[in-house]
Amino acid sequence: MSGKDSRRTKASAAADDETPGFAAIILAGGSGTRFWPRSRRARPKQVLSLDGDRTMIQNTLERVKPLVSSGQVWIITNDLLAKTIAKQLPDVEAKHILREPAARNTAPACGLAAFLLERSSPETVLGVFPSDHTIGDVERFRRVVRAGAELARRGAMVVLGVSPTRAETGYGYIELGAAVKPLQSDKSIPVRRVRRFTEKPDKVKAKRFLRSGNYAWNSGMFLWTAKTLADAMREHQPKTAALLEQIAAARGTPKFDEVFAELYPQCESISIDYAVLEPRSAKGEAKSELYCLPGDFAWSDLGSWAALHEYVAERAESHNSNVVEAEHHVEIASTGCYVFSPNKTVALVGVKDLVVVETDDAILITTREGSQDVGKVVAELKSTGRHDLT
Amino acid sequence: MSGKDSRRTKASAAADDETPGFAAIILAGGSGTRFWPRSRRARPKQVLSLDGDRTMIQNTLERVKPLVSSGQVWIITNDLLAKTIAKQLPDVEAKHILREPAARNTAPACGLAAFLLERSSPETVLGVFPSDHTIGDVERFRRVVRAGAELARRGAMVVLGVSPTRAETGYGYIELGAAVKPLQSDKSIPVRRVRRFTEKPDKVKAKRFLRSGNYAWNSGMFLWTAKTLADAMREHQPKTAALLEQIAAARGTPKFDEVFAELYPQCESISIDYAVLEPRSAKGEAKSELYCLPGDFAWSDLGSWAALHEYVAERAESHNSNVVEAEHHVEIASTGCYVFSPNKTVALVGVKDLVVVETDDAILITTREGSQDVGKVVAELKSTGRHDLT
C-alpha cells in the first residue's frame, strides 16, 4: 500500500468511526504521589510514559480520537500542568485546555463542561475520561463508548463499570440493577440499570461485593448529554450549578478569566458520583435513567507500581516475569521484579517481587506490596521540607 | 594544644613507633569482581573508598606507616593500577611501585620483595599486607605487627591468624600448635606455633575447625626477614627463586625492565601459603619456625557487599541497621539494607536485607545473601561482550 493510499484509508476510517455530536472531556488535574519518584507535583502520572512511548494522556486522547466530533476534545487541568499537556497534545485547541483556578474534584469539572456545551449544542454527548487509566483492548473500549453514547443521546446517564477481580477497598462500587434489552447498534453489549452507588467499602463489604457477582467497580468514565448533566447539576447541586452557569455565560467575553477565577473556587469540592449519581439513584433504578455498561476492555487505573508491573508483564513477553526497563540487564535467580532505570545496566541477583525505580535525583526501593505505601515517602519528604523531591 | 606543639608531638610519636629495619610490602595486584558495579578491572576494591573517605590501599598504608623504616614501603601491583595507586599514595617513591608483567599470585610477589631487599639489607623484616582488608582496631594491629617483627628478626616466619567466627569455606585455615612463652616486648600477645596450613575446607571441615577452637583463619599477612623468605624460596621453590634472584640482580641497571618482563612470567603462579608455608610446616611444628600471632584487631577481608554492610553497621550508629550512603534518605518499615547511591535521595519502603548499589552506568539489586554471587553478573557481562561494564 502506498503512503498516499494508507492516509486515505485512515482518513475515511476515522470519518466512519465518528459519532456525531460527541465531545471528550479529559480530566487531567490529578496530582498523585503513587508513582514517585517518577511522578512529581509538576509531573503527575497522566503526563508520564509509564507503559510505552506515549504518555498516559496521549494514550487517552488516542483512544477516544476516532469517536470525537471535530475539535471537541476538552481538557480540564490546572496551571501547573497546562503547558506540559499542551505540548503533549498539540492537536487540542489551546482554548479547550481549561485551567481550574482551584482543584474542586470532579463534579465542578464535569459540570463546567456540561454548561459550556449546553449553550451551543445541548444534545452533544459528553464522554468523561480520566487521563491516567490504561485500557488494554482499545477496540472493545470504543465499541462500549459508542453504545454508551447511543444510550446517553436518549437522555440516560451512563457509567462504565468494571467487573471486580479482587476485594479492592480503594474504589467506588456500583450495585447492578435489572438487565435491559440490548442496543440496536451493538447487541453484544449488555446493559444494566444502576441500583445503587456505594463509596469505597471496607474489606468485609468489598469481599461480599466480589462474591455476589452483582457489583462493578466505578471506572470514573461517564456518558451523558450536556443537557442531561446540566439539568442534573441544577437539580442536585443548585449552588454549584448557578456558579458554573455564570462562568459558562462569561465564556468568550473579556471577563471570562476573572469570572472563572472568582466563581470556580466557590463551587463545592465534590465528586460527580456523590454530587449527582448517588442522589439520582435514590429515585429508584426504574426511574433514575442510570445505566451501567461493562468496562470489559482490560482496564486498570494503575494505582501503584505493582499495578503497572502487572499490566506490563501481562502484555510483554517478560523474562521470568521480571519487567526491567534499562539500557541493558542481567538477571540471576530473580523473579517478579519491576525495575525502571532507563539509562543504566541493571543486575538482579537472587531477588523476588521488588520494585526499584531510578530517576535523576532519586531511587525508590520497595516490594510489590510495599509500593502501595509510596505516598508515605512523599509525605515524609514534604514534612521535612524536601519539596524539591515531591 | 597549639598547632606547633601538636606537630611536634606527632613527629616524636612517629619516631618512637618506628621499628628499625621494617619494610611494608603491600600487595595490590588483585582484580576482584565482588564489589561490582563499583569495582571494575581498572578500579578494583583496593583503590575504592568503601568504608570512608580514604581508599582501602590508603588505609593500608596509613596503618603501617608508623612501623615502617623511612622509604621502605613497596607496592606490588600491575600496569592497569599503577597510575591510580601512585596518585592515591603520593608519599610512596615511584620506584617502589613495582608492576608485575603478569599476575603470578603471592609467592613470586613476596619472593621478589625478599630477593630485592636481601641484597642491601637481608635482616630487614618484611611485613606483607594485602591492600584490600579492613582493620577496626589499628592500635592493636600495630602492637601485633611489632611483636611479629620481633619474632621475625629472630628468624621466624610469622602469620597473623584470625579467630574464626563462622564456618567460612572461602579462607585457608591454620591449625595452631604449642603456645610458646610470650615476647619480652609485649607480653599480652599470645604466640602459638603453627601445626599445619589447610587450604579452603569444605563446609563439614570448616564447621569442625570452628568448633575445635584450635584453628585460625589465614589473614594473608606475614612477617619474616628478607633473608628468611629468600632462603625459604630457594629451598621450596628453587626454579622461581632463581628467576626472582636474576630479576633482583638486574635492579638498578638499564636492563631491569626487560629482565623483569621476560623472567617474571616464567615464575610459578602459586600462593605463598602453598609455595613456602605448607612445605615448611611439614618439618613439624617444633622445627619449622612457623608462628601464628592473633589477628584480634577486628579484621575483615570484605569479601562481599554483605561483609561491607556488616563492617560499616558495626562501626556506625546505623538507623534500623540500614546503611544508606545517599544524598538524602527516607526509610519506611525497612531493616538490614545496604544502599550506595551517593548523589541521590534513596527511599526504602518495606524492604529487608537488600543490597542496592548505584554507579554512573549500573545498578546492582540483590540481597545480603545474593551479594556472594555478584561475580556471576560480571561473568555474564564478559560472556556477552559487555567489557565496558566489567
Strand, helix or coil for residue A367 = strand
pLDDT at B318: 66
Cell of A13: 476510517
Q: For A228-281, what is each residue's pLDDT tens digit? A: 999 999 999 999 999 999 999 999 999 999 999 999 999 999 999 999 999 999
pLDDT at A38 over 70: yes
pLDDT at A320: 63
* B256: Cβ contacts below 8 Å, ≥ 6 apart: B247, B250
Residue-averaged pLDDT of chain A: 92
Buried b (16+ CB within 10 A) or exposed e, B243-266: bbbebbebbeeeeeeebbeebbee
Mutation choice for A interface testing from B322, B339, B349, B364 by most A CBs within 10 A: B349
pLDDT at B320: 63
How many Cα atoms occupy the beta-carbon half-sphere of A358 within 13 Å?
A: 26
Shortest CB distance from B365 goes to which of A351, A362, A370?
A351
Strand, helix or coil for residue A300 = strand
Nearest CA in chain A to B330: A377
DSSP percent split of chain A into helix, strand, coil, nearest 5: 40, 25, 35
* A326: Cβ contacts below 8 Å, ≥ 6 apart: A339, A340, A341, A342, A343, A344, A345, A346, B363
* Strand-pair category, A338-349 with A323-332: parallel
User: Within an 8 Å CB–CB cutoff, is residue A117 touching chain B?
Assistant: no
User: Within an 8 Å CB–CB cutoff, is residue B209 touching chain A?
Assistant: no
User: Within an 8 Å CB–CB cutoff, is residue A356 touching chain B?
Assistant: yes
pLDDT truncated to tens, each residue of chain B (390 aa)?
A: 344 444 444 444 444 444 559 999 999 998 878 999 999 999 999 999 998 889 999 999 999 999 999 899 999 999 999 999 999 999 999 999 999 999 999 999 999 999 999 999 999 999 999 999 999 999 999 999 999 999 999 999 999 999 999 999 989 999 999 999 988 889 999 999 999 998 889 999 999 999 999 999 999 999 999 999 999 999 999 999 999 999 999 999 999 999 999 999 999 999 999 999 999 999 999 999 999 999 999 999 999 999 999 888 888 776 568 999 999 999 999 999 999 999 999 999 999 999 999 999 999 999 999 999 999 999 999 999 999 999
Answer whether B203's CB lies under 8 Å from B169's CB: yes
Size of interface A-B (CB pairs under 8 A): 139
Nearest CA in chain A to B373: A349
Sketch out chain A's domains with CATH numbers.
3-300 (3.90.550.10), 305-389 (no CATH)
Q: Name the more confident of B241 and A14.
A: B241
pLDDT at A263: 98
| DSSP-assigned beta bridge partners for residue A293 | A160
pLDDT at B321: 87
Cell of A91: 492537536
Answer whether A20's CB lies under 8 Å from A67's CB: no
Q: For A360-369, what is each residue's pLDDT tens digit? A: 999 999 999 9
Q: For A213-230, what is each residue's pLDDT tens digit? A: 999 999 999 999 999 999
**Residue B333 main-chain phi, psi, to 5 deg:** 50, 45
Nearest CA in chain B to A343: B361
Cell of A354: 521488588
pLDDT at B209: 97
pLDDT at B14: 41
pLDDT at A172: 93
* Average pLDDT value for residue range A75-98: 97
Mutation choice for A interface testing from B38, B305, B363, B367 by most A CBs within 10 A: B363
Answer whether A78's CB lies under 8 Å from A97's CB: no
Answer whether B275's CB lies under 8 Å from B237's CB: yes
Report the share of chain A in percent with pLDDT over 90.
87
Answer whether A126's CB lies under 8 Å from A25's CB: yes
Query: Alpha helix (H) ranges present in chain A?
Result: 3-17, 56-64, 79-88, 106-120, 138-153, 203-212, 226-236, 238-250, 256-263, 272, 278-281, 305-315, 374-383
pLDDT at B20: 59
Cell of B256: 631491569
Answer whether A356's CB lies under 8 Å from B363's CB: yes
pLDDT at A319: 59
Are B371 and A381 within 8 A, CB to CB? Answer: no
Shortest CB distance from A365 goes to which of B37, B356, B370?
B356
User: Within an 8 Å CB–CB cutoff, is residue B387 touching chain A?
Assistant: no
Shortest CB distance from A346 goes to which of B365, B370, B386?
B365
pLDDT at B12: 40
Are B354 and A365 within 8 A, CB to CB? Answer: yes
pLDDT at A17: 47
Distance, in Å, from the CA atom of B350 to the CA atom of B337, rounded to the nearest integer, reads 11
Q: Name the more confident of A189 and B182.
A: A189
pTM over 0.90: no
pLDDT at A6: 43
Are B332 and A371 within 8 A, CB to CB? Answer: no
Shortest CB distance from B381 goes to which of A330, A356, A376?
A330
In angstroms, what separates the C-alpha of B35 from chain A's closest C-alpha?
Answer: 13
Nearest Cα neighbor of A292 from A156, A168, A171, A165 is A156
User: Within an 8 Å CB–CB cutoff, is residue B5 touching chain A?
Assistant: no
Are A351 and B347 within 8 A, CB to CB? Answer: no
pLDDT at B231: 98
- Other Cβ atoms within 10 Å of A231 Cβ, number: 17
Answer whether B148's CB lies under 8 Å from B185's CB: no
pLDDT at A295: 95
Q: Is the ipTM of this complex over 0.90?
A: no
Are A377 and B347 within 8 A, CB to CB? Answer: yes
Answer whether B345's CB lies under 8 Å from B327's CB: yes
Q: For B237-293, what is each residue's pLDDT tens digit? A: 999 999 999 999 999 999 999 999 999 999 999 999 999 999 999 999 999 999 999
- Other Cβ atoms within 10 Å of B180 Cβ, number: 13
